[in-house]
Amino acid sequence: MRVRAAPHGPLAGTVRVPGDKSISHRAVLFAALAAGRSTVRGLLEAEDVMATVAAVRGLGAEVTREGEGCWTVHGCGTGGLAAPADVLDCGNAGTLARLLLGVLAGHPFPAVLTGDASLRRRPMARVVRPLGAMGARIEAREGTRLPLTVRGRLRPLPLSWRSPVASAQVKSAILLAGLHAPGVTVVEEPSPSRDHSERMLRAMGAEVRAETLPDGRHRVAVRGDVELAPLSVTVPGDPSSAAFPVAAAAAVPGSRVVVEGVLANPLRTGFFTTLREMGAAVHWMRPREQGGEPVADLLVEGGRLRGVEVPARRAPAMIDEYPVLAVVAACAEGTTVMRGLAELRVKESDRLSAIVEGLVACGVEARAEGDDLVVMGRGGRPPGGGVVEARLDHRIAMAFLVLGGLAERPVEVRGAEAVATSFPGFAPLMNALGAAIGEAEP
Ligand code: S3P
């Protein structure tokens, strides 16, 4: 599908974005492990999360859609999932693939996991190795990529694991396997990654401890042999989705947009901090709590932005927002340097190269320098006029549709159906604020 975004003026309005993708995956998956009936409201009804719904159904959990965004899950209890009759298709969802491997490491039956062309290219060794050390047998036809077969055990061995990357997917997979292990399972990461699993597992009765070590590393421990209590949760709005309208508004002087009910977990808000440093007026209003997570309304007013240096240590708190930050950087005055982005190479696409290629196609000067991304802004609308391939990557598709609105000439995105992975209502929401996104003419 080819979608075209034409230049727009100031954006205005109040909107809500769909539920957080990370929390939605976890709510469905964890509820399937609880004994009894969980209720999830505000669930993200997008392709990624529907793959999670299908996977837990394939493993014996009963999942029902009660109304818009409202779902109930009858879980099977810890270790109680049943052998699937068919292959479990994780679609485009890395979070599902990795967390499901953690869950299956605690179940004594074989299951086959696969995914789309994007997911089959992504590294799984980061979870295959620790889960293997816990006793799961995971075999792939080729190396450690999907499709692969996992055969767990009823009682995996407790593990103490040092992850070389700050990855919530790795951390969560190990914690999930640890739920079934006798004793305490520990994961250390170089810096804290998003902590939704820890918060949700605690709310379900698990004993999860987190601490920062004297050398700055982060350690999380879970005590196994636990029966999870059912969940009742309302999923907050996804800050990674809010980033698109917020970015588009921030870069056009005269814009004023409010996004209500956005997850404000400090491990997810690095993009908004960076926008402020670039000179944008971004405010968190009416802070409150929802489903064990901080939530607030985001107000953004457009203005003139300047280039900044984004430190590598901020990357885990805004890892999914670099494509749209690079687009904002193209509109800012001066150079923006984003450091320490090696992980971007193993997302839904190689985002480092996709960003550079897309920006260059739209007349923007940009390059990767090692693991850093450098974007030269010219303090106003970039030329635009390019055709950008989404590469099965929803965030690349949406970032360049934002660029089309901010540029001098329209931008066309090919493979724009990828948007449905996380944000099916993206174009109508943007258009309601004043954007001009529509199907490209044949
Ligand atoms: C996610 C963690 C991040 C993020 C992904 C969602 C999660 O990946 O990029 O979109 O829900 O745990 P990593 O854990 O690989 O950094």
Q: Is 290 in the pocket of ligand 1 (CB under 6 A)?
A: no
DSSP strand pairing (88-89 vs 110-114)? parallel
pLDDT band at 400 (very low <50, low <70, confident <90, very high): very high
For the stretch 246-260, pLDDT in tens is 999 999 999 999 999
For the stretch 270-280, pLDDT in tens is 999 999 999 99
Between the CA of 379 and the centroid of ligand 1 the distance, in Å, is 32
SS3 content of the chain, % helix, strand, coil (to 5): 35, 30, 35
Q: Whose Cα sits closest to atom 16 in ligand 1?
A: 167
pLDDT of residue 129: 98
Atom of ligand 1 nearest to the CA of 99: 12
pLDDT band at 392 (very low <50, low <70, confident <90, very high): very high
pLDDT of residue 282: 98
% pLDDT > 90, the chain: 98
pLDDT of residue 142: 78
Question: Measured between alpha carbons, how far is 196 from 201 in angstroms, rounded to an integer?
Answer: 8
pLDDT band at 322 (very low <50, low <70, confident <90, very high): very high
Backbone angles phi, psi at 75, to 5 degrees: -80, 170
pLDDT band at 134 (very low <50, low <70, confident <90, very high): very high
pLDDT at 141 over 90: no
Name the CATH architecture for the domain at 21-214.
Answer: Alpha-beta prism (3.65)
Closest listed residue to residue 130, CA positions, set 107, 166, 109, 157: 157
Backbone angles phi, psi at 334, to 5 degrees: 95, -175
Question: Measured between alpha carbons, how far is 28 from 287 in angstroms, rounded to an integer?
Answer: 26
Q: Whose Cα sits closest to atom 10 in ligand 1?
A: 320
Between the CA of 103 and the centroid of ligand 1 the distance, in Å, is 17
% pLDDT > 70, the chain: 100
Q: Is 320 in the pocket of ligand 1 (CB under 6 A)?
A: yes
pLDDT band at 79 (very low <50, low <70, confident <90, very high): confident
Between the CA of 279 and the centroid of ligand 1 the distance, in Å, is 28
Probe target for ligand 1 pocket from 21, 96, 118, 169, with the most ligand atoms within 8 Å of CB: 169
**Cβ contacts of 306 within 8 Å, gap of 6 or more:** 278, 279, 332, 333, 334, 379
Closest listed residue to residue 402, CA positions, set 257, 236, 194: 257
Closest listed residue to residue 403, CA positions, set 251, 255, 256: 251
Helix (H) or strand (E) holding 70: strand 70-76
The answer as to CATH 3.90.45.10 being correct for domain 2-19+237-439 is no
Q: Do residues 399 and 326 make contact, with C-beta atoms less than 8 angstroms apart?
A: yes
Q: Whose Cα sits closest to atom 15 in ligand 1?
A: 167
pLDDT of residue 291: 86
pLDDT band at 268 (very low <50, low <70, confident <90, very high): very high
Probe target for ligand 1 pocket from 23, 28, 194, 201, with the most ligand atoms within 8 Å of CB: 194
For the stretch 171-205, pLDDT in tens is 999 999 999 999 999 999 999 999 999 999 999 99
Atom of ligand 1 nearest to the CA of 171: 14
Q: Do residues 101 and 150 make contact, with C-beta atoms less than 8 angstroms apart?
A: yes
Q: Is 22 in the pocket of ligand 1 (CB under 6 A)?
A: yes
Location of structure tokens 């979870």:
127
| Residue 20 annotated in active site | no
The token pair that represents 307 in the structure block: 């280039």
What does pLDDT average to over the chain? Answer: 97
For the stretch 36-78, pLDDT in tens is 999 999 999 999 999 999 999 999 999 999 999 999 999 999 8
Q: Is 232 exposed, middle or buried (0-12, 13-18, 19+ CB in 10 A)?
A: middle
Q: Is 269 in the pocket of ligand 1 (CB under 6 A)?
A: no
For the stretch 83-103, pLDDT in tens is 999 999 999 999 999 999 999
Mean pLDDT score, 430-438: 98
Say if 2-19+237-439 and 21-214 have the same CATH topology.
yes
pLDDT band at 441 (very low <50, low <70, confident <90, very high): confident
For the stretch 304-316, pLDDT in tens is 999 999 999 999 9
Extents of the domains making up the chain: 2-19+237-439, 21-214
Q: Is 95 in the pocket of ligand 1 (CB under 6 A)?
A: yes
Catalytic residue, chosen from 116, 320, 350, 393, is: 320
Mean pLDDT score, 386-395: 98
Question: Measured between alpha carbons, how far is 396 from 394 in angstroms, rounded to an integer?
Answer: 6
pLDDT of residue 78: 86
Probe target for ligand 1 pocket from 167, 293, 347, with the most ligand atoms within 8 Å of CB: 167
pTM, whole model, 2 decimals? 0.98
Cis amide bond preceding 190, omega within 30: no
For the stretch 17-29, pLDDT in tens is 999 999 999 999 9
Q: Is 168 in the pocket of ligand 1 (CB under 6 A)?
A: yes
